[in-house]
Amino acid sequence: MTQQDIHAVSQIESAASQHPWNEKHYIDSLNSGHICQVAELDGSIVGQGVVMTVAGEASLLILTVDKEHQGKGHGYAIVEHLSELASQTCDTFFLEVRESNNAAFNLYLNAGFSEVGRRANYYPATRHSASEDAIIMIMDLSFN
Ligand SMILES: CC(C)(COP(=O)(O)OP(=O)(O)OC[C@H]1O[C@@H](n2cnc3c(N)ncnc32)[C@H](O)[C@@H]1OP(=O)(O)O)[C@@H](O)C(=O)NCCC(=O)NCCS
């Protein structure tokens, strides 16, 4: 991901995610040196993921696939690629996912993450949704 990708990335984000990142979140991640990757199909961006790495631990901050391109393996491919990059400096890969997000939860299970705990009511209620637990998932990267 480069600064030039931010507009396209944000458009995918606002259309696909119920809790979208805005352009500033992506710019801050690029400036912070996070692992920021886009997936391209025929020269167009179809998805993106961002990982923060600190002291040997990687955290997935965001993962989104364009609505038109979901269900075709792009999300899985992005997670696999991010895992490979993270494993160069990290032994453990963490993420949190809303308990209602079955698509993401199943993808993470398929990709090798395991559920290790929950944070009760981690995501506060909004005008449109009730509060939700966060499922904490971990993948061991030391075998990569
Ligand atoms: C979650 C998301 C990234 C998945 O991307 P995707 O490209 O559609 O996923 P893939 O096609 O790679 O699917 C990989 C696996 O995920 C799971 N999965 C994907 N969509 C699913 C759905 N609608 N229901 C249940 N499981 C699903 C399946 O296990 C699938 O494996 P399978 O095809 O062998 O059954 C995408 O739905 C998205 O961008 N959602 C909105 C943003 C979001 O919720 N991000 C995650 C925040 S934690």
Q: Which phi-psi region, left, alpha or beta, contains residue 73 (left: φ > 0; alpha: ψ -120 to 50)?
A: left
Nearest ligand 1 atom to alpha carbon 97:
48
At the topology level, CATH places domain 3-140 in Aminopeptidase (3.40.630)
* In the predicted structure, residue 140 carries a pLDDT above the cut 80: yes
d(CA 26, CA 34): 10
The chain-wide mean pLDDT, for the chain, equals 96
Does the C-beta of 59 come closer than 6 Å to ligand 1? Answer: no
Residue-wise pLDDT for 67-116, tens only, equals: 999 999 999 999 999 999 999 999 999 999 999 999 999 999 999 999 99
| Torsion angle defined by CA atoms of residues 8, 12, 14 and 15, in that order, rounded to the nearest 10 degrees | 130
pLDDT for 71: 97
* DSSP reduced 3-state for 51: strand
Return the domain boundaries, the chain: 3-140
Does residue 16's CB lie within 6 angstroms of at least one atom of ligand 1?
yes
Pocket flag, ligand 1, residue 46 (CB < 6 Å): no
- Which of the two residues, 95 and 129, has the higher pLDDT score? 95
